[in-house]
Amino acid sequence: MRTVLVNCGPIVHLDVEGPCTGSDMSNEEMIYDAGKAIIINGNVIEKILESSEDAIDFTDSDSEIINVDGKAIIPGLIDSHSHIIWAGDRSREVRWKQQGHSYADIASMGGGISYTVAATRAANKTKLHNSAKKRLQIAAKSGTTHIETKSGYGLDLDSELKLLEVAHNLSHDDSLPTIDSTWLGAHAIPKEHTLKSYTEELISIQLPKIAESGLARSADVFCEPGWFGVEESELILKESRKMGLNLRIHIDEFVDGGGGELAADLKVDSADHAHYTNSNARNLMKEAGVNTGFLPGTPYSMGSDWPDFNSMISLDAPWSIATDFNPNNQILSLPFIASCLVQRCNVDPLSALVASTINPSLTTPHPSGLPHGRICEGAVANINILHSKHWESWCLTPGHSPVCATILNGNYQLHDF
Ligand code: NIG
Ligand code: FE
C-alpha cells in the first residue's frame, strides 16, 4: 500500500555521501524547496516528485494521501547512543551533586551505576519491557525512528542476557523505533569482583555466550580512569571483534584517559562522550575514520561545560550527537539535545541535524540494510513532519516536541497535527 505526502513544505533531504563533515554539514543544497510530493511504498521511499499534481499517477483507491499543508519535513532521527533498559530511580543523586559530590564520589556512596544494577537485577523481564517501551514511545514522539541501546546494568551473564532479550522483544514492535543492540557488560565493576577478575569473566564467560546468542550487534566498554583502563578496554574490544561483534567505546567523559588513541588504533565505529579528548587523539580518530559521538545530555545533567562542537567542523572530522538516555540523564529527545548545541553553543541547526541523522546512520545501520537518516528514493520511509513551515524549528522547542507526525518504517503516526 502506498502513502502519498502532498503539499510538502521544505524537505531537508540530506541525500549526500556520508559521513558529512566540515562546512558540508551546513550546505543548503541538502534542502528541497517547498512543493514536492513523496511517494512511500511499504517501508521504502519510492519516489520524490516535483509537484503534488504528479502524485496522481501513483495513487489508487488503496493509497493513503496526507496533505502536509506546507509543513517542513526532516528525516527520521537516529539516536545512536542510549541506555533504555533498566530499573530503579536515582533522583536523590541530584542533591548529592549539588552538595559537590562527583560522579565517582556518588558511585562510592552507593549511588551511580551499581545502584541501578541492583534494581535491574531484581526486576523481571515484563517490568523492564514495559518501562523501556514507555521510554521508546516518548522518544518516538520527538521524532526518533531508530535507536541504539545497550545492556550494562546486569553485569553478570544471566542479567546481561536478560537485558538483551528485552531489547530483542521490543525490536519486534512495529509501533516503536527500530533497535540496534549493544552489549555493555564492561560498564562497571560489580561489587563481587575486582577489575582483573571481572575482565576475565567478561572475556571467558559473558562474551562467548553473548556472541552465541546473536542478541548484540556490537560491544562497548566504559573506558575511563576508575572504571575500565585502556589496557582492559583494548583486551575486551579485541576479543569481542574476534567473536564477530562491531565495536563502540565510551571515552574521556570526565578526563582525557587515553581512550581516543585506543579508539583510533582499533578503528571502532563510534567513540562516544569524547568530551576531554586531546587534539592529537582527535586527529588520529579522524585519520582512522572513527566517528565522534557527542552526548551533550551528560554535561547538561551534570552541570558541566559543553565540549567545543564547532571545533569538529574546523577539523573536518565525522561526528554525531545522541541522547545517552540513562538513569543519570533522562533525556529522550534528540531535538532537545540539538537545541543545546544550537541555542547554547552556536552550532548551525543544519549541522546539528546532519549529526542526528545521516552521520549516525553510518555507525548505527537500519536492520533492513537500507539507507536511513536521509530522504531519498530507496531509503527507509522514516520521515518527520514538523509543526512549523520552517525546518530550523526542529530544534527550537526544547520543552515540547517539534514533530507533529512521523512516518515510521512506512507507517503514518500522527502525534498532534
Ligand atoms: O554513558 N558513563 C557511563 N555510562 C553512562 C552513565 C551510566 C549511569 O550513570 O548510570 C553514560 O553516561
Ligand atoms: Fe553511555
For the stretch 179-191, pLDDT in tens is 999 999 999 999 9
Give tens-digit pLDDT for 24-82: 999 999 999 999 999 999 999 999 999 999 999 999 999 999 999 999 999 999 999 99
Which of 86, 148, 187 has the most ligand 1 atoms within 8 A of CB, as the residue to mutate?
A: 187
Q: What is the mean pLDDT of residues 217-225?
A: 98
List % helix, strand, coil for the chain (3-state, nearest 5). 40, 20, 40
Confidence class for position 416, pLDDT limits 50, 70, 90: confident
Give the distance (Å) from ligand 1 centre to CA of residue 134: 20
- Nearest residue (by CA) to ligand 1, atom 5, is 326
Residue appearing with cell numbers 558540508: 24
Give the cell for residue 177: 523505533
- Nearest residue (by CA) to ligand 1, atom 10, is 113
What pLDDT, on a 0 to 100 scale, did the predictor assign at position 301?
95
| Contact residues of ligand 1, CB 6 A cut-off | 83, 112-113, 116, 222, 250, 253, 298, 324, 326-328
Q: Parallel, antiparallel, or unpaired: how do β-strands 403-408 and 411-414 relate?
A: antiparallel
What pLDDT, on a 0 to 100 scale, did the predictor assign at position 417?
63
- Nearest residue (by CA) to ligand 1, atom 8, is 113
Mean pLDDT (the chain) is: 97
What pLDDT, on a 0 to 100 scale, did the predictor assign at position 406?
98
Q: In terms of Cα–Cα distance, which of 336, 353, 349 is closest to 401?
A: 336
Give the distance (Å) from ligand 2 centre to CA of residue 83: 6
Q: Inform me whether the pLDDT recorded for 343 exceeds 70.
A: yes
260 Ramachandran zone, left/alpha/beta (phi>0; psi -120 to 50):
alpha
Q: What is the mean pLDDT of residues 304-325?
A: 97
- Nearest residue (by CA) to ligand 1, atom 3, is 222
Q: What is the mean pLDDT of residues 127-138?
A: 98
What pLDDT, on a 0 to 100 scale, did the predictor assign at position 62?
92
Confidence class for position 213, pLDDT limits 50, 70, 90: very high
Give tens-digit pLDDT for 229-288: 999 999 999 999 999 999 999 999 999 999 999 999 999 999 999 999 999 999 999 999
- Nearest residue (by CA) to ligand 1, atom 6, is 326
Q: What is the mean pLDDT of residues 330-336?
A: 98
| Nearest ligand 1 atom, CA 324 | 1
Asked if residue 76 lies in contact with residue 143, where contact means CB atoms within 8 angstroms, the answer is: yes
